[in-house]
Amino acid sequence: MASAAAPTSMAARFASMSVSSTTTPTSAVKLSSSFTGNSASLLSLRRRVTVPLVRPRNLQVHAKGGFIPAEHRWMYEGIEKMGPDVWNSTYYPKADDHKNVEKKWYIVDAADKRLGRLASTIAIHIRGKDVPSFTPSTDMGAYVVVINAGKVAVTGKKRDQKLYRRHSGRPGGMKEETFDNLQKRIPERIVEHAVRGMLPKGRLGRRLFTHLKVYNGSDHPHVAQQPAPLPITDKRINIVQ
Amino acid sequence: MTRVKRGYVARKRRKNIFTLTSGFQGAHSKLFRTANQQGMRALASSYRDRNRRKRDLRRLWITRINAAARNNGISYNKLIQNLYQNQILLNRKMLAQIALLDTNCFSTIMKKINE
């Protein structure tokens, strides 16, 4: 290789250059300098660090302005158009990939379904965990419509013993209500409370929560969105009467 | 002692910090003392997150593979077990990208491991 021979000749050239610089210039003005040449240690350092001045400029393949080393060029054979590497860089969704108008809509009938298991399935679909393009920082999930929310079921003695608590903010302002009472008063709140507890807490979580639509009866205003039945894989979600 | 003006020595030092914190919110990119602190925090976060990034991305790939596998009727743990038993050496990054970009290929892999 030419480059291997270059360093030694470079070093020799440097050595000769330093020697020539110490010869006193033949000019009218007499310059005196105490410099007597670089010491041997400095010269030996130079010998090790020499860099060939001329870079071999054979064919350079440019990929989006980047230089491809010789060993990698076989990978780029046959590719006419260079673009972003979709295979080697992990997918991150663009704005077009999660437009609200193009999201899926699901519908589920809450009658005689266990509250927690139902809420869990709903939360998974709203968050988007069932989709391979899931991204925790973006909203890749679907909309879910829940009907017959007033008929959601709980097992055991929860109907009379499960308490829903809220606080008005003032001292002594804690209010409790049983499941049964709340279902008579505001039935939608039960399903909403359950799903909200299963969604992430934060700005994104609050926005995800707005994708849940709960209705007491069996009518809902989202017929135009043609919601598909929510796929449920939980085998114990139905109350066996 | 002769009078020595400091010139722009301090400005040169501060300019480096300001290039680091350009784009930061409010005073964090305008006032030197706060910008200095925010610059230090930024560098520390950057160091820590270079190692975090490896962990975070692997978590993301696993979640994505789990979703795709469950759509095909298998859970992530069973999928990985089957892949190892069939000596398919695809790593999680590639599996996640295949599940996203080439669903046909992913179902072919599923069929192969179900044999």
Name the residue of chain A whose CA is nearest to B71's CA. A130
Residues A81-113: pLDDT tens digits?
777 888 899 999 999 999 999 999 999 999 999
CA dist A39 and A27 (Å) reads 26
Q: Parse chain B into domains and list their residue ranges.
A: 7-114
Q: Please report which helix (H) or strand (E) contains residue A178, including its range.
A: strand A174-178
Q: How far, rounded to the nearest angstrom, does the alpha carbon of residue A238 sit from its chain's CA centroid?
A: 35
Q: Are B64 and A87 in contact (CB < 8 Å)? A: no
What pLDDT score was predicted for residue A25? 45
Among A42-46, A181-185, A188-192, B2-6, the minimum mean pLDDT is found in A42-46
Cβ atoms within 10 Å, residue B17: 18
pTM for the model stands at 0.75
Tokens of B10: 């301090």
For A105-154+186-226, which CATH class?
alpha beta
Which of A241, A62, A217 minimizes the C-alpha distance to A149?
Answer: A217
Looking at the partner chain, which of B57, B67, B94 has a beta carbon nearest the beta carbon of A134? B67
Query: Which fold does the domain B7-114 belong to in CATH?
Result: c-terminal domain of poly(a) binding protein (1.10.1900)
Residues A163-187: pLDDT tens digits?
999 999 999 999 999 999 999 999 9
What pLDDT score was predicted for residue A21? 44
Residues A7-34: pLDDT tens digits?
445 545 544 444 444 444 444 566 666 7
Mean pLDDT of B20-45: 97
Inter-helix orientation angle B9-20/B32-71, to 10°? 20
Q: Parse chain A into domains and list their residue ranges.
A: 105-154+186-226
Among A42-56, A147-161, A201-215, A219-233, the minimum mean pLDDT is found in A42-56
Looking at the partner chain, which of B57, B68, B93 has a beta carbon nearest the beta carbon of A132? B68
Name the residue of chain B whose CA is nearest to A136's CA. B60
Residues A185-228: pLDDT tens digits?
999 999 999 999 999 999 999 999 999 999 999 999 999 999 99
Q: Please report which helix (H) or strand (E) contains residue A62, including its range.
A: strand A62-63
What pLDDT score was predicted for residue A58? 52
Beta partners for residue A109, in sequence order: A147
Contact call for residues A234 and A108 (beta carbons, < 8 A): no
What pLDDT score was predicted for residue A18? 44
Q: Are A130 and B96 in contact (CB < 8 Å)? A: no
B residues 13..72 contacting A (CB < 8 A): 57, 60-61, 63-65, 67-68, 70-71
- Reported ipTM: the value is 0.87
What pLDDT score was predicted for residue A55? 54
Q: Are A233 and B70 in contact (CB < 8 Å)? A: yes
Q: What is the CA radius of gyration of chain B?
A: 26
